[in-house]
Structure 1
Amino acid sequence: MSEDPGTAPQENPQKDQSEWVTGDEPMTGPQRSYLNTLAQEAGEEIPENLTKAQASEMIDRLQQQTGRGQ
C-alpha cells in the first residue's frame, strides 16, 4: 500500500469534543433519541440541557456500558 499524498486517509479521526466549535450548543434531536435508547438499556437518566459535546461523551460511555456501537 503506497502513501500517496494526493489521497485521503482511510480512517476517520475523531476530534476531541472539547475542541468542537459547536460543542457548547444544545444536543441534537438524534443525539437525544439515541441517548434515550442507551440510557434505558443502561438504567440511567439523561440530564436535561446537555451540550452536543456532553451528549457525545455520554453516548460513548453508554455504548461501552451496553455493548452497542462496537
Structure 2
Amino acid sequence: MSKNQKTPATTTSNTEKDPSEWTTGDEPMTGAQKSYLKTLSDEAKEPFDEKLTKAEASRRIDELQKKTGRGAPKG
C-alpha cells in the first residue's frame, strides 16, 4: 500500500510577494483584478484607471481595500 505524501505548504504565495518582483508585473491587469478594482474604486469614490499593469493594480487594490475596509483581517 502506498502512502500519500504531501509536500509542505510554502509560506509565501503570489499574494504575499512584492508586486515589483513579479516577472509578469508589467503585463496588463487581469480580468479579475479589473473587475475587483472597479468595484473598490466605485465604493471608495476614487477614479478607476483601466490601463494599470498587474503590479500597479495589485498595489491599488491594497490601497483601496484599506480605504474601504474590504480585505481587512477579521478578528
User: Which bin holds the TM-score, normalised by the shorter protein?
Assistant: 0.7 to 0.9
Distance in 2 separating the partners of 1:69 and 1:31: 14
Distance 1:38 1:31 in 2: 10
* Two-structure CA RMSD over aligned residues (Å): 1.5
**Aligned residue number for residue 63 of structure 1:** 65
Structure 1 counterpart of 2:20? 18
Rg larger in structure: 2
Gaps of 5+ in 2: 1-6
TM-score, length basis structure 2? 0.76
**Structure 1 length-normalised TM:** 0.81
* 1:48 Cα deviation from its structure 2 partner: 3.4
Taking only the aligned residue pairs, the percentage that are identical comes to 59
Q: CA offsets per residue over residues 12-32 of structure 1, 9 Å max, x none?
A: 451110000000000011101
Any runs of at least 4 consecutive aligned residues in structure 1 with deviations exceeding 3 A, and if so which? none
Partner of 1:41: 43
